[in-house]
Structure 1
Amino acid sequence: METEWPFRLVRCKVTFPQHPARAHDLGVFLRLAELMADLGAQDTVLLHTLTTLWMFLPTDKVIGLRDALKPLLDAGFIVGAEVAEAPLCDLSSNIFYRRPDLVQHIVLHPDMPETIPLTHDTPRICELCHVRPSRPAPERDEESGVEEFLCAVCAGFREKSSREGRFNKLGGSWEKENFPVAWVRIALDYDRLWCVLKDLFRRYVKANTDLPDDTIREHVNQLRDAALMVDFTRDYNDLLRHFADALRRDFGDASIEEIAGERPELLVVALKEAGQAFKIVDTFETEFRSVFPLCEDDSPISLSISISNAKYPFFEHWRFLDAPQQANAIRIQAVGRARLELSIPRFRALRNLGLEETKASSKLHNAAAVFARTDSHLLEQVDLLDGIKKFPNLFAATSQGFSVADLLAYHKIAGIGGVL
């Protein structure tokens, strides 16, 4: 029977070896977004985001895994793949958790020469990716005069972004005007989504039937959720579009660069006024609530924001933006200054306290200094509570369990914006 035919379910994570430093190095994301869109149009692809790809392949080798991913590999990308092979009737996304013994872990690299002879034609290794031989002639930056030896792939990414007129604000006017910028990444964690879908299904069955808990648990364990993940990804793409449109309305095109082309999962915003970093989060929260109202408490979608001056190396931001999702859906860092991580409901509660209007920065700094000297949260709280009734909003925040570190980080981030 057809349901007994073996198939492969493949989920992939796409990465790249480059360490983007200059604005035009971000052409790597333009190329990645194009390739993922092309692959996403194929019948074998179930779903994709900017860096995630799920495929459904036969096992007869007519379409091999490397052949299916060839466009990505030829463009210099690295693909980590988890491959589960099973009869069609038993193949769903939960097989990665239910039957880990059937899952292979594979890392596919672009074809590379075994050795790179260092001659006058290939004088050195590419300075951007460190894996391919460079072109004979160096690339010269017209503004700084710096010369770099790049391979054809990395030079191609720069040439692509330059040819398409991308990232001119980031590498030009924003640097000259010295505005802080916020790198914004939205990501969907499919491991967390699997848990969320199970919980939502359990709650739905419990609310609408009289089945005993053991029977409900059995139904949950048998849930075939691949189709649900495809539908969720479609709604996720709607969220991305709504979020990007709302940011353009709020900030204007002159303050936004979309890094990944047609996929607004990665963009950068110039913060020309204080408080605009939190305005980005407010926009995300509003659009998220309209699309996924039942997922706020345990969101499989995260918003990460990393703030610095425009010249700060992007690859340092990317380490933060591409880190696996933790418990909190909202993650904000001001490089070298502050870091704040909260769930969506906790962030909304903090925003509703109106702390921007509370001139309590010195009090928070003093309490933090007490902790730094004593390593005692008790003494930190004693210092904070001394005279805190002069700051009713701050008192309300501590009553709701927000830490001194959270409140101080909030104050620091709220003050970022305008010319540095």
Structure 2
Amino acid sequence: MHALVGQGRFAEAHAVVSDAFVERNGSAGYLLRAWVLAQEQRPAEARDAVDWALAIAGPGEAGDVFVLAGVVLLSLDEAHAALTVALRATGADPDGWEPSVLLSDVYRRLGRVPDAVAAARRAAALAPDEPEAQVALARSLSAGRSPLGRIPRAHRAEHRAAVERALALGAVPGQLVAPRGGALLGGMGFVLFLGVQLYRIETGGTWELLAGGVVLAATFALVATLVNISARRTGISARSRLRGIRATTRTEMVGDEWLWRIAAVHVAAVMPLPVLVTTGLIAARAWHGHPWPLWAAALMAGLALAGVCAIVLAVPWWYGGMFARRIARYGGLFRIQLTAVGLLVGTTLALAVRGRATTTDTWASVAAAHLTWTVGGWLAATALSARLQSHRRRAL
């Protein structure tokens, strides 16, 4: 089968995984067909075959079936769906090394390097003489390298040993380095672009305000379109994919109490953002001599509160009621942020009511308060999240 696919002889490969073959082999047959379709660049049909395989998989299905399903899903760039399957594979074969290798590959694709390393270490411990396990360990350790390509000092000796062991077992050198994805650099570039547009809006005149708003609206529309196109490439709508990611997130939280704590910090860090880009914008423009009329300030204040409410309502929708209650109570972060948001919005609206009686120095102080609270919250969240991640890594 591999030889036929490698030579591009897909018609002959499909003849091997015929309907009769699939009927005899059940889930495994569907997954072999899905793998052939994925290699043939027919993602929608491949995903359909994977779904059929998982639908008919019984509770006592062998872990190999789920491993193959995860491999196919990863080849289709369905990393979150592959994570769900990898967890099922681990449950079906808790002492198997192959599910751990799959789990490591999935976590690495999702950018969760500590989880990838922990899974690869389990695989290497279970099967020290399997080259795939050593390759998974080397790749996961290399995924944590710096932008300059250096492996963290704490992992260098382990990485070197894994590479030497994998090569001794017959691995190909090109397999030992995890490819560096463009998601991080792309995300940084996108954030920088948004920052530039917001700066133009806050410091420019009316035309800059309109131009910046149009550019931001067009950017978000383009991103939404690209996400939708990418989702439909495999025949799965963006909404269905989002629900799958949500289900996986909740499933992981059940077995890992650190995840909801980290989520609480992230949610609290996001809450001031709607206020910064609404009432913070009003304060910044008034500071630079372009005060907004009262009706516009009231509208922006309403949008700020609506944005914060949307974040609050999204927490139980995404994490579920049980975890939402834990997140809302964790460390009083929710209450602190809601209080700060109310003060910032209320102060901005009160100054807008005063109109021209408000001095530019006062507006400057309010604008600085918006920026300081938001950025300071992000820095504090980064430090607290890093601390929680450190505790979690030790528990893995």
TM-score (norm 2): 0.26
From the two aligned structures, give the one with the greater helix fraction: 2
Higher RCO structure, 1 or 2 (CA under 8 Å, sep 6+): 1
From the two aligned structures, give the one with the greater strand fraction: 1
